[in-house]
Amino acid sequence: MAARAGLLGAVIVYQADHRVLMYPPCGAKRDALGAMGLQFVSGTWTLLDAGELAVRIDLMGKPMDMRTSLQWQEGQLVLRELSSGSVDKFGRYDGPLPPAC
């Protein structure tokens, strides 16, 4: 499943083999990643008890862990980060990868 945050947001691909690929939005974040020779950041995902999604991203050898609550609302994937409470809404993405700017 591929999802996109907002109109110009990041595209996140959750694969059946529990890999996740995150393509940054156009602009400075994408340019910074490109300067490192990368088009996307990869990691792994797993579902935990109580509807939590755990994602571990590895960026140049530095792991980053995120845990979010997972809900569907009106056809959108809604993730609430458990540590900060921030909310991201994702719509389905069916375009090319990496996404065009």
Tokens standing for 29? Answer: 């974040």
The C-alpha angle with vertex 6 and arms to 41 and 83, in degrees rounded to 5, equals 65
Q: Quote the pLDDT of residue 47.
A: 93
pLDDT of residue 15: 93
> Residues in the chain with pLDDT < 50?
7-8
Is residue 33 within 8 A of residue 39, CB to CB? The reply is: yes
Percent of the chain's residues with pLDDT above 70: 94
Q: The tokens 């845990």 sit on which residue?
A: 67
Distance between CA atoms of residues 83 and 8, nearest Å = 25
Q: What is the pTM of this model?
A: 0.79
